[in-house]
Structure 1
Amino acid sequence: MSTILRFWGYRESSMSSHSEDLYSVLGIGPDADAQAVRAAYRKQARRAHPDAGGTAEEFHEVQSAWEVLGDEAARAAYDRKLRQPQGAGAEEDSENDGPTYGRPGFGGFGGSGAAFRTTASGSTSARSGSADSARTPSGTAHLAPIYIPDLSRPEPLSLPLTSQRTHGRFASKGLFGGGRTRRAERMAALLEKHVLAELPTARLFNAVALEPAGKDRRGASRPPRGPAVDHVLVCGDTLVVVSSLEVPAAAASWDGHRLHAAGRSLTLPDLTGDSRLLRATLEAAMRDAGRETSLNLGQQLVLHSPDGGMQSPVVESRGAGIARAPLAPARAFRSIREQLAASAQANVIDRHLLAALRRQLQHPFE
């Protein structure tokens, strides 16, 4: 599972040597093989865990180092950055070759120039608008993460789950059966590569129920049922609901309400309605937890073509509707990043919100 290079805040001077890099966090060298990395992570995680005398910040640093070094693709990108001369640019084309590091507003190794830190804050923000209107990235997405509540508290979400970038899986049968399951799993992998790898505080939730979980006869919570959305990305106080659709053509047109392709007129999922219902569910859950929170909404339908290209199908817009226009993957991922990064709280990780979203997962995994 692809993960982000989490230590965005390390100074560039640290990146040019091995004295303060992620390898040092695990107590190994850059030439360590995958087995040695895993063994070192387990050793350091036991040492740094608050229950064993460590601190929350130490444990989170170890967890963050493992997220990078334990993933083959993320480690390779990190190693390239280590080898890069100090001050050299590191920008890449995220739609073609993978994540871009150092792009203003979307995170980078030298983002804020400040060391990685944990900050306590209890603030919440009022709703500043929806994805129906154009929004400009605030520039805060690349700043050091702010945790609410801070990492000294194990609740409302454990430290490993707070660090986890992707939550939830897809069932092989039922709601996401057959080809839809494969498409949703592929979409999740692409979101990890092209969205999570750009935004250090973003989290991805898969197979998210829209309505609150019920209770069994004994009063215990049971997994939520009913309607669900494929993917929900959260960054700060912004939610973006994402779904995907395969279009059997290299070109399509969008009239603001329906998609026309290959001589057919397609009715698209109501992501606007789904996102509003999910927001109501989550805000109610937050109120029950004693937190009044207003969430911004975004939506994006991603279109796949038979050739699997990132730039197709080409969508011609012929009208303006309420819903955001469906787009080919490359443009869709750019739109999703912009929606998530638009909030002034894009660098905030609200652990109460993450916990509420996890309760909506139809198929959670640890």
Structure 2
Amino acid sequence: MANPSDRTYYGVLGLSPEATAKQVKDAYRRAARSTHPDAGGTAELFHEVAVAYETLADPERRRRYDQGIGGGTARRAPEAARAPSRSATPTPDRTSDDEAFARQPVYEPPFSPQSPPIIPLTLAGSQLHGTARQPGFFARMGAGSGARYDGERRTAALLEHRFLAGFPAARLVNGLQVGDDAGTEAGHAVLAGYRLAVIDSLQAPPGNYRWDGQALRRNGRIAGDVRIIESVRRVQDLFPECNVQGWLVLHGGEGNPFEPIVDYPPSLDKSALTSVHVANPGTLLRELKKFLASGPQPYVVQLPVLGRLLHYAER
């Protein structure tokens, strides 16, 4: 039996060197879910799985890695990358909200002059990326497109000026296209540690709003084209290593950030994996802070995840 210190990235994912690209992706999803700190894994195991995938999923990087294995120079996975024991008691590194928001970011995987970061340092160090997607002429003729774009601009400004400054490790990416159609756009994504918040926006005229988990109603009638449910599901599929939740923020009057008020039916399970929260700007900031800061190691910037988010913002 091979010594655990000799395990390669193929061993981390439980694959043979002949594995196909699809097998690499499928194995990564299984390993990411089992080693995620939110699921009882550890940061060390999770990071090694992420690095293994980033190497083996890229054909050129995989080719160079395979050559290194043959010559005995490829990086081996450390002993921590062995499958976690079911009997082990995880000790996640958790911090209070205030500590999480004050701590300076820690980059994973770490880098040095001899081992540069996997994305340019100027991108890794910036908290703000991308802009709201402006719909074209025909898109603006569609119902709700103008309200969505105006809402996204307000959300981007809200997060930039009221959220990022107090949370140095958070990364905001605006204007994501996570699918092949407009129904899978994501206005904003906020990454902190192992958690990822997907946020969409609408301008909301005065009225009584109610959200049942599927449809948004104003004064009893359907209000706006809510697409974020599909976007959240798509992001969950693309980023299985993250705990993903979604918010739809309703921007009401300029004077009160806690308007409009949104009612939920008592039967709605707000803790469901694919649930989307609907909130006014004030409530969004409070719920977003709680979600991101309560995760394990919220001060970590996952460079592989950030790099892929930026890819979807450039499409």
Aligned 8 A contact 2:134 2:149 in 1: yes
Aligned 8 A contact 1:252 1:313 in 2: yes
Separation in structure 2 between the aligned mates of residue 302 and residue 271 of structure 1, nearest angstrom:
11
Aligned positions of 1:161-200 closer than 5 A? 161-174=123-136, 178-200=146-168
Aligned 8 A contact 1:225 1:362 in 2: no
Q: Which residue of 2 aligns with 1:146?
A: 106
Structure 1 residue runs of 4 or more that deviate by more than 6 Å after TM superposition: none
**Structure 1 pair 257/308, CA: closer, same or farther in 2 (3 Å)?**
farther
Higher share of residues assigned helix: 2
Aligned 8 A contact 2:104 2:299 in 1: yes
- Match among 106, 111, 120 for residue 158 of structure 1: 120
Separation in structure 1 between the aligned mates of residue 135 and residue 224 of structure 2, nearest angstrom:
24
Q: C-alpha displacement at 1:318, in angstroms?
A: 2.4
Aligned 8 A contact 1:256 1:318 in 2: no
Q: Which residue of 1 aligns with 2:292?
A: 340
Q: C-alpha displacement at 1:357, in angstroms?
A: 0.9
- Match among 198, 203, 206 for residue 174 of structure 2: 206
Aligned positions of 1:1-366 closer than 5 A? 123-124=45-46, 138-139=95-96, 141=100, 142-152=102-112, 153-174=115-136, 178-211=146-179, 227-266=184-223, 269-283=226-240, 294-307=241-254, 309-319=256-266, 320-321=268-269, 322=272, 323-362=275-314
Q: C-alpha displacement at 1:189, in angstroms?
A: 0.8
Separation in structure 2 between the aligned mates of residue 245 and residue 150 of structure 1, nearest angstrom:
38
**Structure 1 pair 253/170, CA: closer, same or farther in 2 (3 Å)?**
closer
Q: Deviations over 1:172-199 (max 9, x none)?
A: 3336864533321221010112221232
Separation in structure 2 between the aligned mates of residue 317 and residue 179 of structure 1, nearest angstrom:
23
Aligned 8 A contact 1:211 1:278 in 2: no
Separation in structure 1 between the aligned mates of residue 171 and residue 289 of structure 2, nearest angstrom:
12
Q: Deviations over 1:277-329 (max 9, x none)?
A: 1232245xxxxxxxxxx210111111111445201012222231453441111
Q: Give me the TM-score of the superposition, normalised by structure 2.
A: 0.59
Give unmatched runs, 5+ long, in structure 1: 1-120, 127-136, 213-223, 284-293
Separation in structure 2 between the aligned mates of residue 179 and residue 267 of structure 1, nearest angstrom:
9
Per the alignment, in what secondary structure is the counterpart of residue 326 of structure 1?
strand
Q: Give me the TM-score of the superposition, normalised by structure 1.
A: 0.51
Separation in structure 2 between the aligned mates of residue 171 and residue 252 of structure 1, nearest angstrom:
26
Give the residue type in structure 1 aligned to 2:196. L
Number of aligned residue pairs: 212
Cα RMSD of the aligned pairs, angstroms, is 2.9
- Identity across matched positions, percent: 27
Aligned 8 A contact 1:282 1:357 in 2: no
Q: Which residue of 1 aligns with 2:68?
A: none
Per the alignment, in what secondary structure is the counterpart of residue 332 of structure 1?
helix
Separation in structure 2 between the aligned mates of residue 157 and residue 249 of structure 1, nearest angstrom:
44
